[in-house]
Amino acid sequence: MQLVERENGGVTVLELGGRLDSNTSKVLEDKIMEILGQGKTKVLMDFKDVDYINSTGLRVLLLALQQLKKINGQLVLATIKDYMKEVFEISGYTEIFPIYPTQEEALAHFA
């Protein structure tokens, strides 16, 4: 899994790539904990280059959301491929996560 972190107007943007599964999700979990430890409360995860996600990856997203909510933070998702969006729909994640078709639209969520 590739992970690029950058800041955009007070929002921490995580651009993800590759697979988010049991072999790689610990990297994302550690990054989320690092971000929370820095006191950041606005996180956008861009899935543009993610090819696969399984239940372990979904669990990390839920953990991140729960931790951010504890500190009145927000987690927004962007650019999820259609075939992966089905996984989010089946698991009910489209009901609990704001999901936007582009990173720009997701950033506007925080404005």
**pLDDT tens figures, 37-89:** 999 999 999 999 999 999 999 999 999 999 999 999 999 999 999 999 999 99
Rounded to the nearest 10 degrees, how much is the dihedral formed by the CA atoms of 31, 39, 11, 92? Answer: 60
Whether domain 2-109 has CATH 3.30.750.24: the reply is yes
pTM passes above 0.75: yes
Domain residue extents for the chain: 2-109
